[in-house]
Amino acid sequence: MSITIKTPEEIEKMRVACRLAGEVLDYIEPFVKPGVTTAELDRLCQEHMENVQGCIPAPLNYAPPGYSPYPKSICASVNHQVCHGIPNDRPLKKGDIVNLDITTIKDGWHGDTSRMFVVGGDGPILAKRLCAVTLECLWLGIGQVRPGAHLGDIGAAIQKHAEKHSFSVVKEFCGHGIGRKFHEEPQVLHYGKAGTGVELRPGMTFTIEPMINAGKAAISELPDGWTIVTRDRSLSAQWEHTVLVTETGHEVLTLSAGCPPRPASLG
């Protein structure tokens, strides 16, 4: 496993790309309302990235081995869609939950973040609770990041909290190293055993992006070759930040002015 340790100069470039990714989510939030399509949200995000921020949407035409090129600029996963949902022309309804996943490329460096939205500002109690618990899982995972800790500490904290609330963790998809490449080593599992896995070192940058299901953990892939859904059609939620391991702890690189803060429920 070859993990890239970023230099101070490279970290500064990462900060810029990550800040832009967070700001795309701030920009698009007012447009996420009943009647809008995810295709329209995709168009607005792409135009903002390219024309206002001067960056590139990383997902557009991204084609890892075995995949056809991804056709849109963002991922938009609605209700029982777990991840990699392709934006389409179906209008969002009040009470839908949607994850918008943004990855920017600025000066060759990537920033990756995603956020949950409850369409219309209110929805079923289960949907709101799932989104809230998944956000708590993200921040509990982030809280484990410090030099000398292990990747397993992150996954263990996330899994424990999700299962405490009778939710399940998707195991087939994980966080990842990020930098000049969209996906680098290491893989960051959202389950596992504390004290195991790669030891964290200053200069490592990676995403933490737990996918938590209201029902069972089993997933399926749709015929489009990208969209992942829960097999039992239960709701799924995901939040994501890009994180830097610092000399004394961590820095969340994708924070922005409109980003929900660390939940007060965590103390």
Domain annotation covers residue 244:
yes
- Looking at residue 1, its pLDDT comes to 65
Please report whether residue 265 resides in a domain: no
Nearest to 244 by CA among 260, 255, 236, 233: 255
Residue 36 structural domain: 8-255
The verdict on residue 145 lying in a domain is yes
Asked if residue 3 belongs to a domain, the reply is: no
Q: What is the pTM of this model?
A: 0.97
- Residues in contact with 112: Cβ distance below 8 Å, sequence separation at least 6, in sequence order: 18, 21, 58, 101, 102, 103, 178, 182, 207, 209, 240, 242, 254
Domain presence at residue 210? yes
Is 260 inside any structural domain?
no
Residue 267 lies in a domain: no
* Cα–chain center distance at 232: 22
pLDDT of the residue at 267: 85
Q: Is the residue at 264 inside a domain? A: no
Tell me, what DSSP letter sits at residue 248?
A: S
Domain count, the chain: 1
Q: What is the pLDDT along the chain (267 residues), one digit of tens a residue?
A: 699 999 999 999 999 999 999 999 999 999 999 999 999 999 999 999 999 999 999 999 999 999 999 999 999 999 999 999 999 999 999 999 999 999 999 999 999 999 999 999 999 999 999 999 999 999 999 999 999 999 999 999 999 999 999 999 999 999 999 999 999 999 999 999 999 999 999 999 999 999 999 999 999 999 999 999 999 999 999 999 999 999 999 999 999 999 999 999 998
CATH number where 18 lies: 3.90.230.10
pLDDT at 132: 98
